[in-house]
Structure 1
């Protein structure tokens, strides 16, 4: 059976193909081979520049161009060639080395340096840098831009709905009002913190041989400062050099990154659930799209499926990332291979997040606030003003202020008349009585509007 969108086992490469295509050029097997090929070639070019290793007079610009073109012109045919070698020798990185030697055999001028391909390296020298570059590119090209788009929408709606009074719910019960804009602002602020945090996490890499001590390098060229060479090579790739490792870079930074992404995802799950609830309460209407169907049997329905889809995929992503956070920093002695298969699923974990982000963005673009429903619910709950009234009573040292309002309101349906009658009988200045009577559930908003204006400048 041919592999198509309909025959793929994973929905990442099937149903959600369009949502995840931005990660395909980073985490596919072809792309992984190309990233590793890039590291091999860059390391060889670093060796070539070292006069105390290779006679650089023999290397011409056309030779460097030939080497660069191996990467530039890397094709699926080349990748298949490498995979066929791997089938025979059962080693992925060595297969890449043999591929490069095969390419060099086509140049009479470069055959004399073919043994400097993969010189002194352990496979993890190549792999850890490749993964670091893949993660760096996925964050910069896909994850952070999507986060930025989500955060921008939240900021936009926080401002747009800053005056839309909302009956708050604590413990699922009516509580002190807020505004829809302020509630969205809360998520905006939380997500923005994670955005800045993720940008600051250092992406580390190592290049120090089989157990992190440059043994083979020193055996061949004992007079070269390989520790300094390693640092130069890693930092030239705009990565942070890790000077102290075993055979592997310990992946702590990946755990840090996934911790940050998982927290962002949890915040987004919280947002999705709140919006789902607000849609259910009819606080938001969803824009109807004529050709879409909400139910196979109930024609009237417009389901909040984008937020549901987002929530489900965020859960999948977090499950994978949380496993990786716990597993990747752990390796037996100087290294075991249990991290290898996990690392190959980095793109899977991030793909579920990307699917979720795209779903959430689709959903939020369909929302239209229903202010009359917001006001209807507020007007049913005049008891929420008991907080304001008993607090003003305390200001004037009226005993049992809280208890008086509890007797008036708790578990009862009261209206504006009930509240105003209670205020009229209070032993407080008339100006305070009038001020309290001017408060309604719709304008008892504290500093919610000012907070939005301050935090979205």
Structure 2
């Protein structure tokens, strides 16, 4: 049998690069291996410009505006040919960051002239350990992926849930606590709860800090100060890191400690878990008939049962959220630990960031598609309420408690009396009306409860949805 590993073009091993590639493609510009190398080139270029512009190495001329523009154009033009060239260089260096240095040295003569290139070339990667370049590159990659791809998609989804909550704020719903009929609410209010939870996590993610460092092999500026002791390397480093749009970390070992990464991955995982809760709730509402899935979209629900429209978008989202969280959790727990001043576990671990983001983005896409295919069925929700008059035992006994506290006679043991009426059995509207009339309630209170129905017993649920505004 011919090996599929030999197929041309190569077949994808994972679902994100195969079946689901279109949904996660925007992340490729930020979290792929090619994106990592582009950001490394970016950081190295900016470091060279920074060193010369700020006179960090006395006697080295500042690059002209045209030269700086040409160097930055190397980053802007970075494409598949550059990725292939770097792979070729790395086969010789057997070191990915060193390959970046040699790649830029090849281009420098064309930018600054052959006569100037030899000296300036040695300022590429000056004073840096590989992690100085990598930590800044990863920070820029994750920042871009979060702000330009993941957050916009997440916000779109949450806005979709918020709109559904607003649309359904007045639609009464039989609540289920522990799987049992409970105090009625509205579908809109329940979706508003999930919207509120998701928004809180998005605010945390939006406020994330992206830290970076540039301080040498063990975080001491040892090589910098030995080579050029007259320069204020702390100030140079801080200004450089901040010029990239990152927060400067002054105290590190060889690596930036990755605590900020653990924080944002934990927040993203929490968003994923709330979204997972939304998916399971909506799936349950579909199974109860409270939502109908739009038919006629050309999809097959079941290969054998023609009547079925399966809630596959929500099930797909659940599965991908679980995979994403497994990766986000392991990233958050492992990246904060490094043996003494350096080990390389983080290097391998960080290569899974794109996969973690990809499964989350895919889940967001599927949840959005699922929500777009829903129609609320108020009639089914109402019918369930009509079958559960016993839920009105709660407001009646609560009113009796309040009346008893003010000295109204005949209000003794309200909970126990309602329990005897309702627990373990269904009651009808007639049963409840007869019971209310026999309680001896004040006329105004009795009339209020004779008019109350499970459909109207929703408290302030519709009003609570306004807190989404």
TM-score normalized with structure 2 length? 0.95
TM-aligned CA distance change 1:58 to 1:160, over 3 Å: closer
2:438 to 425, 430, 452: 425
Could you report, residue by residue, the CA deviation over 1:17-74 in whole angstroms, capped at 9, with x for unpaired residues?
1110010111111111101100000000001113352546574333323322222222
Q: What is the distance in 2 between the residues matched to 1:58 and 1:343?
A: 35
Matched, 1:23 2:27: yes
The answer as to whether partners of 2:86 and 2:99 remain within 8 angstroms in 1 is yes
- 1:32 is matched with 36
1:171 to 150, 170, 178: 178
The answer as to whether partners of 1:63 and 1:110 remain within 8 angstroms in 2 is no
The alignment partner of 1:336 has SS state of coil
The answer as to whether partners of 1:35 and 1:133 remain within 8 angstroms in 2 is yes
Matched, 1:456 2:465: no
- 1:156 is matched with 163
Q: What is the distance in 2 between the residues matched to 1:23 and 1:267?
A: 22
Shift of 1:79: 1.6
Q: What is the distance in 2 between the residues matched to 1:253 and 1:82?
A: 29
- 1:277 is matched with 284
Comparing 431-440 with 377-386, greater Cα deviation is found at: 431-440
Shift of 1:223: 1.1
Matched, 1:141 2:159: no
Could you report, residue by residue, the CA deviation over 1:359-381 in whole angstroms, capped at 9, with x for unpaired residues?
00000000100010000000000
TM-aligned CA distance change 1:223 to 1:290, over 3 Å: closer
Q: What is the distance in 1 between the residues matched to 2:45 and 2:66?
A: 15
- 1:218 is matched with 225
Could you report, residue by residue, the CA deviation over 1:382-415 in whole angstroms, capped at 9, with x for unpaired residues?
0000001111111222111111111111111111
1:298 to 301, 305, 329: 305
Matched, 1:84 2:97: no
Could you report, residue by residue, the CA deviation over 1:96-129 in whole angstroms, capped at 9, with x for unpaired residues?
1011111124431433311111000000000000
Q: What is the distance in 2 between the residues matched to 1:304 and 1:25?
A: 32
Which consecutive aligned stretches of 4+ in structure 1 deviate over 6 angstroms post-superposition? none
- 2:3 is matched with none
The answer as to whether partners of 2:52 and 2:61 remain within 8 angstroms in 1 is no
TM-aligned CA distance change 1:223 to 1:429, over 3 Å: same
The alignment partner of 1:256 has SS state of helix
2:77 to 55, 66, 73: 73
Q: What is the distance in 1 between the residues matched to 2:419 and 2:456?
A: 22
The answer as to whether partners of 2:196 and 2:468 remain within 8 angstroms in 1 is no
- 2:408 is matched with none
Could you report, residue by residue, the CA deviation over 1:322-368 in whole angstroms, capped at 9, with x for unpaired residues?
01111000000001001101111111100000000000000000010
The alignment partner of 1:110 has SS state of helix
The residue correspondences of 1:329-344 to structure 2 (distance < 5 A) are 329-344=336-351
The answer as to whether partners of 1:204 and 1:239 remain within 8 angstroms in 2 is yes
The answer as to whether partners of 1:132 and 1:203 remain within 8 angstroms in 2 is yes
Q: What is the distance in 1 between the residues matched to 2:166 and 2:315?
A: 25
The alignment partner of 2:122 has SS state of helix
- 2:354 is matched with 347
The answer as to whether partners of 1:167 and 1:175 remain within 8 angstroms in 2 is yes
Give the alignment's Cα RMSD to 1 decimal: 1.3
Shift of 1:3: 5.7
The answer as to whether partners of 1:136 and 1:203 remain within 8 angstroms in 2 is yes
The answer as to whether partners of 1:47 and 1:54 remain within 8 angstroms in 2 is no
The residue correspondences of 1:5-404 to structure 2 (distance < 5 A) are 7-51=11-55, 53=57, 55=59, 57=61, 59-106=63-110, 107-108=113-114, 109-397=116-404, 398-404=411-417
The answer as to whether partners of 1:383 and 1:414 remain within 8 angstroms in 2 is yes
TM-aligned CA distance change 1:233 to 1:182, over 3 Å: same
Q: What is the distance in 2 between the residues matched to 1:290 and 1:40?
A: 50
TM-aligned CA distance change 1:11 to 1:359, over 3 Å: same
Could you report, residue by residue, the CA deviation over 1:414-437 in whole angstroms, capped at 9, with x for unpaired residues?
110000000000122111111011
The alignment partner of 1:368 has SS state of strand
Shift of 1:213: 0.6
The alignment partner of 2:229 has SS state of coil
Shift of 1:256: 0.3
Unaligned runs of 5+ in 1: none
Comparing 245-254 with 76-85, greater Cα deviation is found at: 76-85
